[in-house]
């Protein structure tokens, strides 16, 4: 069993690694000895977080706006220059939008598609040469997409375009997984339930609402950083090397409702 969950020395890119779920994952990889790149739009925040994470391991920042084709391709080029062989790509960056049905703006669908779906495809394709360079039959390169429990069951909040975009991420995961088996690249998704982040602060920073959300979760609590880091490390390690095309719920059982 020694080394079954090891990710030491692997090169890892985490998009949206500056805060929230991306930071939980990036910190897990850094502390487990991986060489991590984090990316997000705000260059100063990204650099400051990378400097903080570097106190316990190896982390650098490469800022990019992934909602544009140039942003995704530019990030892929910059990462591939530093890591010609990329072992793990975590497509985590994302945004949400909530509004009542009849006020839900058409533009939200464009924003969710541009931020949550297209970058997953663009970045994976642009990084294929680096992923292929790291991939072997025994130790495939890994793509980990962050979907959502909201893409698997009807959410309790009105976020129509978001939920649809996350269902798209799950289907894209299966599609890419099938296509990339021959390259020894696995593609899986994590579908989180509620985790503390800026995206969820509107609900989880309100004690009454937080308690209500925790009660809705069959395991009775909000997700913790280790829950997320653990799932990502499993998928990136030897333990996860025979899994591809899966959408793993890390949601305290919400998807069983």
Residue 198 as a binder of ligand NAP (CB under 6 A): the answer is yes
Q: E strands of 101-255, at which residues?
A: 141-146, 185-192, 247-250
| Stretch of 19-27, 51-59, 120-128, 209-217 contacting ligand NAP, by CB under 6 A | 19-27
| Stretch of 65-73, 120-128, 132-140, 179-187 contacting ligand NAP, by CB under 6 A | 65-73
Residue 255 as a binder of ligand NAP (CB under 6 A): the answer is no
Which has the closest alpha carbon to 191: 248, 245, 234? 248
Instruction: Label residue 74 exposed, middle or buried (CB < 10 Å: 0-12, 13-18, 19+).
Output: middle
Structural tokens at position 174: 């299966």
Query: What CA–CA distance (Å, rounded) separates 86 from 101?
Result: 42
Residue 202 CB neighbour total at 10 angstroms: 12
Task: Map tokens 């289907």 to a residue.
Answer: 171
- Residues 164, 116: contact at Cβ < 8 Å? no
Residue 209 — φ and ψ, nearest 5°? -65, -40
**Taking CB under 6 A as the criterion, which residues in 73-92 touch ligand NAP?**
92
Pairing relation of β-strands 247-250 and 141-146?
unpaired
Tell me the residue length of the chain.
257
| Stretch of 20-28, 100-108, 127-135, 176-184 contacting ligand NAP, by CB under 6 A | 20-28
Q: Which helix (H) or strand (E) holds 229?
A: helix 225-236
Q: Is 162 a catalytic residue?
A: yes
Residue 203 as a binder of ligand NAP (CB under 6 A): the answer is no
**Taking CB under 6 A as the criterion, which residues in 213-252 touch ligand NAP?**
none
Out of 66, 141, 144, 180, the residue judged to bind ligand NAP by CB under 6 A? 66
- Please give the size of the binding site for ligand NAP, defined by CB under 6 A: 29
Out of 31, 41, 73, 171, the residue judged to bind ligand NAP by CB under 6 A? 41
- Residues 101, 34: contact at Cβ < 8 Å? no
Out of 79, 195, 233, 248, the residue judged to bind ligand NAP by CB under 6 A? 195
| Stretch of 93-101, 127-135, 179-187, 237-245 contacting ligand NAP, by CB under 6 A | 93-101
Residue 93 as a binder of ligand NAP (CB under 6 A): the answer is yes
Using Cβ positions, the residue closest to ligand NAP within the complex turns out to be 20
Active site residues: 162
| Residues near ligand NAP, by CB under 6 A | 15-16, 18-22, 40-42, 45, 64-67, 92-95, 115, 146, 148, 192, 194-195, 197-200
């Amino acid at each position: 069993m020694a080394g079954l969950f090891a990710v030491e020395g692997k090169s890892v890119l985490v998009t949206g690694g500056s805060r929230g779920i991306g930071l939980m994952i990036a910190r897990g990889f850094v502390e487990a000895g991986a060489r991590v790149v984090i990316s997000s739009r705000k260059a100063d925040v990204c650099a400051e977080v990378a400097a903080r994470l570097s106190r316990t391991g190896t982390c650098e920042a490469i800022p990019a706006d992934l909602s544009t084709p140039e942003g995704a391709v530019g990030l892929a080029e910059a990462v591939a220059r530093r890591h010609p062989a990329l072992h793990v790509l975590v497509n985590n960056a994302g945004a949400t939008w909530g509004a009542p049905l009849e006020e839900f703006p058409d533009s939200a669908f464009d924003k969710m598609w541009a931020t949550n779906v297209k970058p997953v495809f663009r970045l994976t394709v642009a990084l294929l040469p680096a992923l292929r360079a790291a991939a072997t039959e025994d130790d495939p390169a890994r793509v980990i997409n962050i979907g959502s429990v909201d893409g698997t069951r009807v959410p309790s909040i009105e976020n129509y375009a978001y939920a649809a975009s996350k269902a798209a991420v799950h289907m894209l995961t299966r599609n890419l997984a099938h296509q990339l088996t021959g390259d020894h690249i696995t593609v899986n998704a994590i579908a989180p339930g509620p985790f503390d982040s800026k995206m969820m602060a509107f609900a989880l920073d309100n004690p009454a609402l937080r308690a209500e959300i925790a009660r809705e979760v069959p395991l009775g609590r909000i997700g913790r950083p280790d829950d997320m880091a653990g799932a990502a490390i499993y998928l990136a390690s030897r333990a996860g090397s025979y899994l591809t095309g899966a959408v793993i719920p890390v949601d305290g059982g919400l998807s069983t409702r």
